[in-house]
Structure 1
């Protein structure tokens, strides 16, 4: 019975849950954490190299040409959602630990998912091709936009991007992506034939980054510092972001006069948030001892956006 229930949960959620459980039972501390952090950085480099290899340059050009869809989507994700994150963060200030409140602001500045946004767009009868291209472009933009946007809005010591952080982002995220784009003509077909294995690379890299981040949080007594009432407030903030994010994306796409299939693509690309970008980026921006606290809203949002997306897609599919 328990096995069937566990098997029905999204695989990425299960992987993240196991990473957090491992960090709770066997956290990487001291010298082991340094080695784990180095391994995580290498894995993130490989992940973004693969991203550069598998995103077709021609698709990027075609997607960028659809400004009627893409420009409002970018404004929604990096403008409206960032503002929503700021509102939730400010509302919870003083009620939850400051780093957790900061996490909502970080969540708001992240790009959308690729895999789940496109999957649920297809299930709902939306424009799947447009969703794939738009989500890919939004994620590319997120690599460049999220960190400075977050620092600009947050205006706090934890959010300042010093030269060391900027260099890490450039070397570990941007450089491998650009290398992948440059050499994809030689390797893209091989990568395409190994799609299932590449998906597992995604999952394991994110899980490793989550394990390192939560090892630091466990060492800082995250479970003692976040009381039951705090968990309820965090869940309430996350629910507000889910409701406003998805509802607002649907209303915004309607105001733009998009056809129904494109509105569905806008909804899932605009309302969902990417752990694939957020976790590695958070691991580079924040010191290990605080990263777990900041990433907590993102991991909860990632879980519940999948819970919301399935019935929402089914309802939209029925017209």
Structure 2
């Protein structure tokens, strides 16, 4: 039971430490450790993936199209509606809109999919594809919705994806046989979760002053708006994939990948719009933290249910 709830408990502890004592995490963040953590997660994904699992299988096109529509089309539309209707400061709403338009997180959605016995390979391929497509969709969506040009450094993002995602994953595939032979297989189980927790610790520690600068009322308002948007995307992802006839494992890949949003790209987009929009960056931080904690609790509950009733859920998880 402790292992099941490692991720949510670890995230809560990381948040508390980063708010109370941010100096160590902020220092480590300045050393540039975050990209290495993401690379480590994808290296482990490669080690955990067999060649047979690389076959996409039936329903992949449907699931990917669904994830694309939810992540890069529906989510920005919902963010735009929130931008128009919610009685919040414009800077906060710009952060929410930008966060809704960016692609999925590079690592946590895959970790959560694997934790819940979902199809982690599909989540991996969705993540890569949606991040590459996001290079094209973000400037178009935000320029249309905000009425001003938005610059995204597409080539830099492309190279980053190659360096910290694709290359480590392929290296992991090559080293898989050696890892199994040396008995390293079982030791890798909790490491991705620990890396996700460490990443949140470093990120929030570096952003602690900006987060605390927001008054309590605005913080509560944007927290509720962010959580409502994320839960809405979760519900649409789950029930739409269920309506498409996808198995449980495949629905989980859509659930966690289509609903999550990556904070680093959102922050870089906000800076390209206006480097003075510090409050908008705080929205991205709040959204990121809430989706991480909520999804980790959801995944842990799903995993606990799986372990309690594996036979009753096995048929719906069939590939």
TM-score > 0.5 by shorter chain: yes
Q: Indicate the residue corresponding to 1:127 in structure 2.
A: none
Q: Indicate the residue corresponding to 1:184 in structure 2.
A: 175
SS in 2 for 1:224: coil
Whole-angstrom CA distance in 2 between matches of 1:159 and 1:51: 32
1:63-117 C-alpha deviation (Å, 9 max, x unpaired): 32x2x31111111112234323112211222646122332233366879945654
Q: Indicate the residue corresponding to 2:98 in structure 1.
A: 102
Tell me which protein shows more helix as a share of its residues.
1
Unpaired runs of 5+ in structure 2? Answer: 143-148, 272-277
1:276-302 C-alpha deviation (Å, 9 max, x unpaired): x966xx447745988764354344234
Q: Rate the CA distance shift 1:286–1:48 in 2: closer, same or farther, 3 A.
A: farther
2:130 equivalent to 1:139: no
Whole-angstrom CA distance in 2 between matches of 1:296 and 1:76: 26
1:110–1:146 contact (8 Å) kept in structure 2: no
Q: Indicate the residue corresponding to 1:259 in structure 2.
A: none
Q: Rate the CA distance shift 1:278–1:297 in 2: closer, same or farther, 3 A.
A: same
Question: Number of residue pairs matched?
Answer: 284
Whole-angstrom CA distance in 2 between matches of 1:311 and 1:189: 28
Q: Indicate the residue corresponding to 1:80 in structure 2.
A: 70
Q: Indicate the residue corresponding to 2:46 in structure 1.
A: 52
Query: What is the Cα deviation at residue 204 of structure 1?
Result: 2.4
Whole-angstrom CA distance in 1 between matches of 2:157 and 2:290: 25
Q: Indicate the residue corresponding to 2:145 in structure 1.
A: none
2:195 equivalent to 1:205: yes
1:77–1:110 contact (8 Å) kept in structure 2: no
2:244 equivalent to 1:244: no
1:135-168 C-alpha deviation (Å, 9 max, x unpaired): 313313413x232333333215777134434333
2:25–2:206 contact (8 Å) kept in structure 1: no
Whole-angstrom CA distance in 2 between matches of 1:151 and 1:57: 29
Q: Rate the CA distance shift 1:220–1:116 in 2: closer, same or farther, 3 A.
A: closer
1:224-250 C-alpha deviation (Å, 9 max, x unpaired): 164322222222222322222212221
Query: What is the Cα deviation at residue 23 of structure 1?
Result: 1.7
TM-score (norm 1): 0.71
Whole-angstrom CA distance in 1 between matches of 2:60 and 2:107: 13
SS in 2 for 1:87: helix
Q: Rate the CA distance shift 1:228–1:300 in 2: closer, same or farther, 3 A.
A: closer
Q: Rate the CA distance shift 1:80–1:33 in 2: closer, same or farther, 3 A.
A: same
Whole-angstrom CA distance in 2 between matches of 1:168 and 1:71: 26
